[in-house]
Amino acid sequence: MDTKVILTEKEMPTSWYNILPDLPQPLPPLLHPGTKEPTRLPPPLFPEALNEQEFSTERYIEIPEEVQEIYKLWRPTPLNRAYRLEKALDTPARIYYKYEGVSPAGSHKPNTAVAQAYYVKKEGFKRISTETGAGQWGSALAMGCMFFGLECKVYMVKVSYYQKPYRRSMMETWGAKVVPSPGEDTEIGRRILAEDPDSPGSLGIAISEAVEDAFAHDDTKYSLGSVLNHVLLHQTIAGQEAKKQLEKIDAYPDIIVGCIGGGSNFSGVFFPFVKDKIEGRRPDLQVICVEPEACPSVTKGPYTWDYGDVAGLAPIVKMYTLGHTFIPPKIHAGGLRYHGMAPIICHLHHLGLIDCRAEHQIPVFKSAVVFARAEGIIPAPEPAHAIKVVIDEALKCKQSGEKKNILLALSGHGHFDMGAYDEYFSGRLEDYEYPKEKVEEALTHLPKV
């Protein structure tokens, strides 16, 4: 076969795949953080269409034409056969990767950012507010809003705002207004600054500011970049493409590997395949989620009810959690530093349909370098976690002689993470053990349901 499997724009899927109606058991409900009763997403924060998608029982949801047109700026994305990596590992396994780094933002995030901006615009609103840490999600949403002429206000954690100006410049290039959080634009920001004018900010504070902004402005909605069902739904464009691409070369994966932080990138890739496992066509399909040892919600956390956010204002969901007050160590894979996990991923794991592993940061970077030296692409630290497991599995095949097909969800490139590679090469990269005591403490703060 060729190195890449290419789809034409006409072959691009025109619907997202909604896994909800195919789940063997229904997903536990969202609970209202106050009443603890089943609830929808707070309507002042989310457009109606996304609230519908969140609970939809339709198996396929049409991708609006306007969204398809924008996807086509960079989609369908390539699926590559990693010939050179296979050779470097001397493995009989066949390794494929679905590469989302060709989007202008360099990751999978625009798949949902563009869709969310579309629905906000369609329902007549003018602005979206959101939070961002290092800027990965903020930049994708800035781009999405730009395409539909929406204002975008990004509350960026103050320490990143000043230390990582590049993603901020990216957001500004795409027309977003970016402010350091905490800041003077919200009540909660002003309150925190009054107490501590030098507050470095946190993702929790930035979320609170963005939510307050959306509640305070009638023309504004709030947007989340992962975890929620509708976000995972929008990412399924990638997995459906990958499935078509593999069909073209008569291949089907034995193992699918991806990293999980909130869970959206990997869900997008494996949902269309795990459907075949749920329905009995591919009982042996192995889906491996990879999370950091420093923040191992699925591998180490209990499956229980917890708040989706640090402040305890978001709906309560049933998930594997390290406790919503847990602050993960500062690993470079910022996108994997979340205390919980997308409810659908947790549900599938609880049902025994998917596996999960946790990996340490230093071997993860070692694997990333092996990949970059074989395939050229320098991966972001998040999918580098998945690469570690792909290499492990390929080496197992070398031992056993099995010619397994391994599919890697390569969610983005590392162009904005070269400082982390620099730390790795200079020997300054720290590793982090599982912070057991901090997690045990955080788990004492779970909500009573």
**Distance (Å, rounded) from C-alpha 373 to C-alpha 392?**
17
Of 5-13, 200-208, 213-221, 393-401, the segment contacting a copy of itself by CB under 8 A is: 5-13
Q: In angstroms, give the least distance from the CB of 397 to a copy of itself.
A: 22
Report the distance separating Cα 423 and Cα 332, nearest Å.
10
From the CB of 22, what's the least distance to a copy of itself, in Å?
A: 32
Q: Which is nearer to a copy of itself, 41 or 82 (CB)?
A: 82
Min dist. Cβ of residue 3 to a copy of itself (A): 4
Exactly one of 172, 276, 392, 431 binds a copy of itself (CB under 8 A); which one? Answer: 172
**What would the two tokens of residue 204 be?**
């929790």
One residue of 36, 190, 281, 373 binding a copy of itself per CB under 8 A:
373
Options 36, 59, 72, 403; binder of a copy of itself; rule CB under 8 A:
72
Q: Would you list the DSSP string of 20-80?
A: GGG-SSPPPPPB-TTT-SB----TTTS-HHHHHHHH---SEEEPPHHHHHHHTTTPSPPEE
DSSP tag of 192: H
Quote the tokens at residue 86. Answer: 């296979």
Q: For residue 64, report the phi and psi dihedrals to the nearest 5 degrees.
A: -55, 145
Distances from the Cα of 342 to the Cα of 291, 306, 352, angstroms: 13, 12, 16
Q: Given the complex with a copy of itself, which of 234 and 275 has the nearer CB atom?
A: 234
Q: Specify whether the CB–CB gap between 7 and 240 falls below 8 A.
A: no
The residue among 106 and 258 lying less far from a copy of itself, judged by its C-beta, is: 106
Q: Does 430 bind a copy of itself (CB under 8 A)?
A: no
Residue 415 binds a copy of itself, judged by CB under 8 A: yes
Beta carbon nearer to a copy of itself, 8 or 35 = 8
- The nearer residue to a copy of itself, 18 or 139, going by C-beta atoms, is 139
Residue 104 binds a copy of itself (CB under 8 A): yes
Among 26, 59, 73, 351, binds a copy of itself (CB under 8 A): 73
Q: Indicate the residue among 2 and 90 with the shorter CB distance to a copy of itself.
A: 2
Tokens 């590392």 belong to residue: 414
**Cα–chain center distance at 147:** 21
C-alpha distances in Å from residue 82, one per residue of 221, 230, 306: 41, 31, 40
Judged by CB under 8 A, the residue of 94, 108, 168, 388 near a copy of itself is 168
E strands, 225-271, are: 255-259
Q: Which of 167, 230, 275, 324: binder of a copy of itself (CB under 8 A)?
A: 167
Name the residue among 274, 289, 295, 272 with its Cα closest to residue 389: 289
Asked if residue 54 binds a copy of itself (CB under 8 A), the reply is no
Q: Nearer to a copy of itself by C-beta: 21 or 149?
A: 149
Contact call for residue 36 and a copy of itself (CB under 8 A)? no
Return the closest-CA partner of residue 439 out of 290, 328, 319, 291. Answer: 328
Of the candidates 14, 163, 173, 400, which one interacts with a copy of itself according to CB under 8 A? 173
- Site map 239..278 versus a copy of itself, x via CB under 8 A: ----------------------------------------
- For a copy of itself, the binding residue among 61, 143, 233, 289 (CB under 8 A) is 143
Interacting residue with a copy of itself among 419, 430, 440, 445 (CB under 8 A) = 419
Shortest reach from residue 372's CB to a copy of itself, in Å: 5
Minimum separation from the CB atom of position 287 to a copy of itself (A): 27
Closest by CA position to 183, among listed 163, 200, 165, 166: 200
Half-sphere exposure of 395 (CA within 13 A, CB side): 9
Contact present, 13 and 237 (Cβ < 8 Å): yes
Q: Identify the burial level of 401 via C-beta atoms within 10 angstroms of its C-beta, where 0-12 means exposed, 13-18 middle and 19 or more buried.
A: exposed
Interatomic CA distance for residues 305 and 54, integer angstroms: 18
**428 scored as a contact of a copy of itself (CB under 8 A):** no
**Binding site residues, a copy of itself, CB under 8 A:** 2-4, 6, 8-10, 69-70, 72-74, 80, 84, 102-106, 143, 146-147, 165-170, 172-175, 369, 372-373, 375-378, 413, 415-416, 418-419, 421-422, 425
